[in-house]
Amino acid sequence: MYMFLAIVLLCGVELGLCWNQQVDSASVEAHSLDVDDDCSADSSCGANLLQHRAKKYERQDEKKALVPALVDEVYTYGAPATHMPSFRSSATEDGCFPGLRSYTEDQHGPNGFQHQVDAGAMFTKYPHMSISSVCLHWETDSIYTPCTHTNNGDAASPSSTINGGLVYQNWGLHQENDYTDRLRDITLNGTKVGAQNPFDAARKFAFAAWRSYTSLDEQRGEVAFGMSGWNLVGRANFDGSAGDTDAVSLIQERDTLDCAVIFEGTNSLSEMFTTIVEYGTGYCGFDNVHVGIRNELWSLTGGPWETDIKPKLEACNRVLCIGHSLGGALCEVFAACANSGHYSDPDYQRLAWGKKMAAQMKEVL
């Protein structure tokens, strides 16, 4: 991944800065009236109770059926955000995408006055997709924020200061070892949890994400050697408009027949403009999708995608999406479209695949 920008920018966008706002639900529950609460027929709450019941049943009637998931998990690393509002999955009851969004942060000065965050994760003004996130620290507790039906898993709110401290972008925190080492040694509340999922899975798939920057031969050998039981079974190379070449890869685990789509991140100076140009546009039935990332994904789901990747996805048991930097942003939009249920949309039809009996595929040569 080439690092071409040395931007120092106060964080005035919604990105991962490591702090949490605690929500006190007690005050909300204290003013709620449940259908099972005692309420006499002649009391003043009788009418309210009937209205409450009617509204509850109305909400149940309006609840949409879940769509079958094409993308089962997402793992991203230092990825820019892509959509306003945050993408939510139509394939899960809580609207969250299974998996993990990882980003790195260092704190300096008295009481962590200065926050330096992986610049890739701070690169756009949009909120991230609804997925659990981890803000990775080194030699101190990290911050893990589970995604729920009431939040999108972000460990931060838009702010250029945290308790008076300053927040900066740092491209030096965007490298592979920044992620693999911190995921391996991660602690939460003083307890080592690196051997637990989703952190163990995220560390394993980080290795796969960075292999996408290598040649086909290098990627095939490194996946087989470094990811026991996994093989590279598909790779499509796309010629970019600025003379760059982008790769989309597919790996499969032999025992489970699960697969992972891997989008390559930014690999040339010209491709930086993909993320810099960020006004909203339509894609796959959604409004206000980051235009540069939308255009990149649209290009990557044509041509070689149709022949080298899409047919093979039909032979996968489960499908994951993995990406570093721009590759992670592409995963956000890819998973949102794949799990949207927008079956008649041309963008969905261009991207989506059918589900057939899972089968072991041959290693690509």
Report how far residue 348's alpha carbon sits from residue 338's, in angstroms, rounded to the nearest whole number: 7
What are residue 322's phi and psi, to 5 degrees? -130, 140
Query: What pLDDT, on a 0 to 100 scale, did the predictor assign at position 267?
Result: 63
Write out the two tokens for 247.
């790769």
Mind giving me the DSSP string for 109-159? Answer: SGGG-EEEEEGGGGSSSSPPPSEEEEEE-SSS--EEE--BTTB-S-S--S-
- Contact predicate 338/344, CB 8 Å: no
List Cα–Cα distances, 24 to 62, 130, 148, 308, in angstroms.
28, 21, 15, 50
Higher per-residue pLDDT: 154 or 181: 181
| Token duo for residue 152 | 């999108």
Low-confidence winner among 69-73, 82-86, 113-117, 254-258 (lowest mean pLDDT): 113-117
Cβ contact 309:261 at 8 Å: yes
Mean pLDDT of 291-305: 94
Report whether pLDDT(345) > 70.
yes
pLDDT grade for 275, boundaries at 50, 70 and 90: low
* Apex 333 CA angle, 319 and 365, nearest 5: 45
Long-range contacts of 189-194 (CB under 8 A, 24+ apart): 189/141, 190/141
- What are the pLDDT digits (tens) for 122-175? 888 899 999 999 999 999 999 999 999 988 887 653 334 444 458 888 999 999
Q: What is the rounded distance in angstroms from the CA atom of residue 82 to the CA atom of residue 280?
A: 9
Among 28-32, 65-69, 254-258, 361-365, the range scoring the smallest mean pLDDT is: 28-32
> Largest alpha-carbon pair distance within the chain?
79
User: Which residues does 145 contact at the CB level (< 8 Å), separation at least 6?
Assistant: 20, 132, 133, 134, 135, 151, 153, 154, 155
What's residue 112's pLDDT? 74
> How many Å apart are CA 303 and CA 238, to the nearest integer?
8
* Confidence check: pLDDT of 30 > 70: no
Q: Which residue has the higher pLDDT, 358 or 112?
A: 358
> Residue 274: pLDDT above 70?
no
Q: Give the separation between CA 203 and CA 128, rounded to whole angstroms.
A: 20
- For the whole model, what pTM was predicted? 0.82
Tell me which of 33-37, 182-186, 303-307 is least confident: 33-37
Q: Tokens 């300053």 correspond to what residue?
A: 166
Q: DSSP string covering 253-267, please?
A: ETTT--EEEEE----
pLDDT at 188: 97
